[in-house]
Amino acid sequence: MPSIKIDGRDVPFEPGDTVMRAAYRAGIEIPHYCWHPGLSSPANCRMCLVDILPPPGRPALRLDILEWSAEKNDYVVAQKSKLQPACYMQATDGMEVLSDTSDEVAKARAAIQELLLLNHPVDCPICDQAGECKLQDYWLLHQRSKKRMCDEPVHKPKAVVFGPTIVYDAERCVMCTRCIRVCDEVAQNPVLDMRERGNRNEITVAPGRQLDHGYSLMTEHVCPVGALTSSHFRFKARVWFLRSARTVCQECATGCNAHLDYDPRDNLPYRYRPRDNEAVNKYWMCDEGMLSYGRATAGRMLGAHVGGDDASIDEALHAAKDHLRGCDPARVAIVLSAQHSQEDNFALLTLGREYLGVTDVFVARRPDGLGDKVLRHVDKNPNGAGVKALVGGDGPRPLAELVAAAQKGRYSHVLALGHDVDVDVAALKSAFAGLTGSIVIASHDGPLTAALRVALPACAWTEAAGTYVNAQGMAQPTEQVLRPRGDARPGWELVARLGRALGFAIPWKTPKELARAMRGAAGSEPTHATAGAVAAEVAP
């Protein structure tokens, strides 16, 4: 593999890489504002200027400048290197780059940094970006000098509403054009551009339009300074109080990797940020996904209920046990959830098939929605592929079939996971009204929790570690972010407790034990014979 040398360190690169990308791959930071790994390089911020040594035997390009000599009491002509933007220079084998080891580069960085702050309002105390602002970071790293321009800075529009999600402050803007390029290159919806010129220019929305495409929050995400703020996060938190956990977006089957930022003091989520994953979402998330962090608290089912009355988990488990005792496995339907994790689904499927001996498995899922060619998948469930793989064979049957069969009295019991459905809610209600027993474990309130008799509160994706299989078939883990709200417990744990209440020796009590069981089950589909045998033992 060809390589370049950055400050004496060998850095391999792939053909077509710029110096910046080669450094980025190697984990070397060359300071930059306008460059972004997922966007084109306009080389306009000039923060990434580096000194590229000429090939051996060739003279370096030098530029005449002036310096003041106190000794001579006159200017003297001095020279400086012609620096090059790392984000635009193609790496060539053997190229030698000076970045952190060149005084001239350090001088240039300090100068660019000073110029960027020249007309900046330095309103950090009221700026949402403070704490994660490149201007702040690079001032510390590369400038560390006081402001020398004492004139009134250039004033520009503030708090400009770009659209439903974004507010713009032109005075804080460094004109890196990342937001323009996100609209052009990622969202494929060129709604932003620059107007005016020189130090009076500003970002503007196309006349007669709003910044309202499906990826508008990515403009804020890529903004290296506080110029673009999200109307949802604006003035809500100081970022240094927030902690981040790695999670996976639940809004569709793409399974975008995300950071969920939360405040441990109030146990609340504050925002999503895309988590780079070249294989899934690259650097991006859609607006629906970005705003779905609210689902960690909104619409939650925080306590158990039995027949519409609030209950403790123990009471609900007791009621569930009573419901299921003596049921005929042939007349029991298991409903898995494309919205719950593999862990929850595995637990319920195992209880149903292996311990109860049930054969009829259905899946509850959110109905399909709008997709696009960027990230959004029409399947609005995070784990449909996972459920399909767990069930094996032809996969679970659609809920509509269960509703039709239940209407005819085919089933006496339903044991379900999840809350949303892709069937008519009234039909679901009337079909399930005649059941002898019905139990649902769910994180949110929904048609399923309303239609079934016993409901147990499960943790949302934020409250328990889990695995979700996206449409590409990639199993992606999530971390626990928040402490469970209300009485919520991990879905798989509730399943295990229900199993034990029914008298089964469910072996997994901890996430680790569950993971081991799941690894053991993977690839070895339970046969109906063994499932039947277990069911026979259970039957009274």
Partner 1 sequence: MLQRTNYLSSRYGVPDGHRIEAYLRDGGYEQAKRALGMPRKTLVDEVKAANLRGRGGAGFPMGVKWGFMPPEPKPGKPHYLVVNADEGEPGTFKDRTLMELDPHSTIEGCIIGAYGIGAHAAYVYVRDELHLSKARLWGAIEEARARGFLGPKPFGIDYTVEVYVHSGAGAYICGEETALLNSLEGKRGEPRMKPPFPAQAGAFGMPTTVNNLESIATLPTILKLGGEAFSKLSALHGMRDGGCRLFGVSGHVKTPGVFECAVGLTLRELVYDLGGGVAGGKLLAVIPGGSSTPILRHDELVDAPDPKAPLHPWHGQSVLDVPMGVDTFRGLGTMLGTCCAIVLSERACPVMAMHNLMRFYRHESCGQCTPCREGSGWLERTLDRIVGGAGTLEDLDRLHEIANNIMGNTICAFGEGTAMPALGFLRKFRREFEDFVRTHGASSPRNLAL
To partner 1, the closest distance from the beta carbon of 163 in angstroms equals 21
Nearest to 394 by CA among 355, 367, 418, 362: 362
Name which of 113 and 381 has its Cβ closer to partner 1. Answer: 113
Name which of 118 and 313 has its Cβ closer to partner 1. Answer: 118
Strand partners, 439: 415, 454
Name which of 183 and 416 has its Cβ closer to partner 1. Answer: 183
To partner 1, the closest distance from the beta carbon of 422 in angstroms equals 46
To partner 1, the closest distance from the beta carbon of 425 in angstroms equals 52
To partner 1, the closest distance from the beta carbon of 213 in angstroms equals 21
β-pair type (192-195, 202-205): antiparallel
To partner 1, the closest distance from the beta carbon of 52 in angstroms equals 13
Name which of 72 and 265 has its Cβ closer to partner 1. Answer: 72
How many whole angstroms separate alpha carbon 165 and alpha carbon 322? 50
Query: Residue 375 — φ and ψ, nearest 5°?
Result: -130, -35
Name which of 63 and 298 has its Cβ closer to partner 1. Answer: 63
To partner 1, the closest distance from the beta carbon of 96 in angstroms equals 19
To partner 1, the closest distance from the beta carbon of 204 in angstroms equals 11
To partner 1, the closest distance from the beta carbon of 253 in angstroms equals 37
Name which of 197 and 373 has its Cβ closer to partner 1. Answer: 197
Taking the mean position of all CA atoms in its chain, how far away is CA 221? 12
Strand partners, 259: 246, 273
To partner 1, the closest distance from the beta carbon of 9 in angstroms equals 25
Name which of 88 and 241 has its Cβ closer to partner 1. Answer: 88
Q: Angle at which helices 342-350 and 384-391 pack, to 10 degrees?
A: 30
Query: Residue 143 — φ and ψ, nearest 5°?
Result: -120, -70
Token pair belonging to 454: 């016993």
3-state secondary structure 259-316: EEEEECCCCEEEEEEECCECCCCECCCCHHHHHHHHHHCCCECCCEEECCEEECHHHH
Name which of 85 and 384 has its Cβ closer to partner 1. Answer: 85
Query: Residue 340 — φ and ψ, nearest 5°?
Result: -95, 165
How many whole angstroms separate alpha carbon 448 and alpha carbon 425? 9
Site residues (vs partner 1, CB under 8 A) = 41-47, 49, 63-68, 74-75, 80-83, 88, 108, 111-112, 115-116, 118-119, 148-149, 151, 154, 174-175, 193-194, 196-201
Name the 3-class secondary structure at 244. strand
Q: What is the DSSP string of 159-215?
A: SEE-SSSEEE-GGG-----HHHHIIIIIS----EEEES-GGG-EEEEPTT--S-STT
To partner 1, the closest distance from the beta carbon of 11 in angstroms equals 22
Distances (CA, A) of 343 to 165, 304, 523: 35, 20, 16
Name which of 80 and 397 has its Cβ closer to partner 1. Answer: 80
Cβ atoms of 214 and 376 within 8 Å: the answer is: yes
β-pair type (466-469, 454-457): unpaired
Cβ atoms of 386 and 467 within 8 Å: the answer is: yes
Name which of 91 and 403 has its Cβ closer to partner 1. Answer: 91
To partner 1, the closest distance from the beta carbon of 374 in angstroms equals 24
Name which of 113 and 476 has its Cβ closer to partner 1. Answer: 113
